[in-house]
Each structure stands twice: as C-alpha cells, then as structure tokens.
Amino acid sequence: MTETQPTIRFKSSRFGDLEIPEEKIIRVPEGIIGFQEFKRYALLDPTGGESLFLWLHCVDDPDLAFIIADPLAFVPGYRIDSSEPDIDRLSVARKPAPALFVIVTVPPDDPDRINANLIAPLLFFESENSLYQIILENADWPLRYFLLEGEGSDPNATGCDPASPGEVL
C-alpha cells in the first residue's frame, strides 16, 4: 500500500479545482502588501515552464492571485543592495539564497502597459517554503517598470540605476 501525501484542495477562479501537496504550500508570514491577512499560497505554472510568468495563488481566497516573474528576465541589471533594512531584518545573509520575483500587473483596459513592481520584490526561500515581500528603501527602482517597448522600458527613463553599488542577492 502506498502512503499518500497530504494535500490541500481549493477552488481557483482562474484554474478551477486544484489540489496541491501540503508540503508545497508557501507560507507568507507577513502577507503581501494590501493583503496581509492571507498567509498561504501555491506557486502555479500552468504552462509547464513555457512562460516567464508564474502565478502566486492564495489558497484561502479563490479570487486572489498574483502574476509574478523573475525580474532579471526583463531588467538584467536589477539588484538588491545588502544594506536594505529588510535584508538585515529577515537575516537573509544567514539563509540559502532566495529566488527573486516581482509582481507583474496587466491592466485589463490596456494590456500593452504590462508592468513590474521593482520597488517591492518577493524573496522566496524554497528550503523553508516561505516568501517575504520587502520594500527597497535605498534603491532607485520604479514602482512600475513597463515591460514592453515604449514608455518606461528603458531603465534610465524610469529612474533606475542598474549600476548602483551593492551586492546582488
């Protein structure tokens, strides 16, 4: 007889009924800005690795999901300085390096203005299955970095300084 892994079942407004192994549920102890009450999420890749975008889907609210992406896919010079207060607060230096994500917004009325929030990245510590959103206080990255060609797609046009000193996480 094979022992089955405990799972969490939930209904997604985007993907229907889902069943995720309990060990894959990501804890977000401090929540996401504006959604601090929600602490459990699943990382979904409906394309099976064919897209740069993933979904961070709340397990406890079927309508709450964020599109996320690795910022280095769009902004090769994206950096987080080790002197950021949240880096010290979370003791990042004493943990395995986190995966870095940013929340991506696709305005429904103007999808060409797809943008990434570079000022409040997500740090995913896979070894402990936890995720934290931090606020960069010492960086000059924009809140909305437009991913398509045009306004804001040039880091220098948005106030970014990809050559700023500091360590890369």
Other CB atoms within 10 Å distance of the CB of residue 134: 20
In a domain, 166, yes or no: no
In a domain? residue 142: yes
Q: Which amino acid is at 99?
A: A
Look-up of token digits 């309508």: 63
Determine the 3-state secondary structure of 58 from DSSP.
strand
Examine residue 168 and state whether it is found in any structural domain, yes or no.
Answer: no
Examine residue 17 and state whether it is found in any structural domain, yes or no: yes
Write out pLDDT tens, residues 23-37: 999 999 999 999 999
Paired tokens of 123? 């740090």
Residue 165 belongs to some domain of the structure: no
Look up the pTM and report it: 0.84
- Minimum mean pLDDT range among 1-15, 45-59, 96-110: 1-15
Look at the chain and report how many structural domains it folds into.
Answer: 1
**From the CB of residue 83, how many other CB atoms can be counted at a distance below 10 Å?**
13
Residue 12 lies in a domain: yes
Give residue 165's Cα distance to chain centre.
23
Average pLDDT over residues 121-144: 94
Cα–Cα distance, 135 to 151 (Å, whole number): 24
Which DSSP symbol is given to 114? -
Is residue 16 in some structural domain? yes
Q: Is residue 67 part of a domain?
A: yes
Give the structural domain span for 96: 7-158
- CATH number of the domain enclosing 80: 2.30.290.10
- Residue 118 dihedral angles phi and psi, to the nearest 5°: -90, -10
